[in-house]
Amino acid sequence: MNNATNNEYPNNTNTTNQDRKNNGTSPAYIGATWCALIVGFVAYIIGLFNADMMLNEKGYYFCVLMFGLFTAISVQKNVTDAADGLPISNLFLGVSWISLVTALVLLAVGLWNAELALSEKGFYGMSFVLSLFAAMSIQKNVRDNMQAKINTPKNGAEND
């Protein structure tokens, strides 16, 4: 096994958590996460619009999506704050996790009992999960970029 250091290979692009905080998130990843959210959310909404369901069922699935997006962002923010050593409320963290699990259970129970084809049920499940993942990633991107702006020296001056 080679025990070479990063100094021996100057082009080594291993990044640390601190590098990420200093440089922010790459524009390509930001674009990919926004595209994932848009694709997941729009697909879910188009599926609801085209579904042969009563309006109250469509409202149920829409509310579950919105609830899930909010709780996913709340969980991600709390977990990131805790990882960065910022004080968090354990009560709010617990409520956020319970709410996220509740949103997932509500979707699963709704789809289990829905009179839909299996392909439709899978479609709603996958677009829901894609939207949650993308929302969590976007929140993390926003936080990392805000942190990078704070850590960036002003007027080209370097920190000593």
Q: Which domain holds residue 114?
A: 27-151
Structure tokens at 141: 């991107």
Type of residue numbered 101: V
Spatial separation of the C-alpha atoms in residues 45 and 150, rounded to whole Å: 37
- Answer yes or no: is 33 within a domain: yes
Per-residue pLDDT tens over the stretch 19-73:
555 677 888 999 999 999 999 999 999 999 998 889 999 999 999 999 999 999 9
Which residue is it, tokens 């289990």? 112
- Answer yes or no: is 13 within a domain: no
Task: Provide the pLDDT for residue 75.
Answer: 93
Instruction: Indicate the number of domains in the chain.
Output: 1
